[in-house]
Amino acid sequence: MAEVIAFPREDRRHTILIVDDAPAIRGFLCDHLNESGFYCLAVASGEEAVRLFEQGTAIDLVFSDVQMAGALDGFGLARWVSENRAGMPVLLASGDLGKAKARPELWGAEIMPKPYDLDSVVRRIHAAIQGTVRRSA
């Protein structure tokens, strides 16, 4: 009989930062992500997200709406992350996928169409984090 060898398992929960100016969306996403094994933080603007990073908050992935109130929309946040936290995955959600894909400066962010299924968000987050783990290993 073959011996079963367990692969090393990461015991910490990945921290996902949700950035969306709609409180209901932030709430639903965070609830679902927490139930799916992640640790979720949520803010209402790109500026608040940058403040969290500048305070040293540990974040593994950013999931942001593209269109938000304030000076820093999702594209601007993706650019900031690219310039200040190189290699960190960013997923952007947009209801206008044509406009989003036409925008050349995505700074490495992936685009997800709205409305989105919560389970597909979880799958995309897992894939993005696994891609980061593989690239850094």
Identify which has the larger pLDDT, 101 or 110.
110
Q: Which two tokens stand for residue 93?
A: 């959600």
Does 3 fall in a domain?
Answer: no
User: For the chain, what is the domain count?
Assistant: 1
CATH number, domain with residue 85: 3.40.50.2300
This prediction has a pTM of: 0.82
Q: What tens digit of pLDDT does each residue of 11-52 get?
A: 578 999 999 999 999 999 999 999 999 999 999 999 999 999
- Domain of 69? 15-136
Please report the pLDDT score of residue 2 as a whole number. 46
Question: Would you say residue 93 lies in a domain?
Answer: yes
Is 49:64 a contact under the CB 8 Å cutoff? yes
Distance of alpha carbon 84 from its chain centroid, rounded? 15
Predicted pLDDT at 97:
57
Backbone phi, psi, residue 19, to 5°:
-125, 110
Label residue 47 exposed, middle or buried (CB < 10 Å: 0-12, 13-18, 19+).
middle
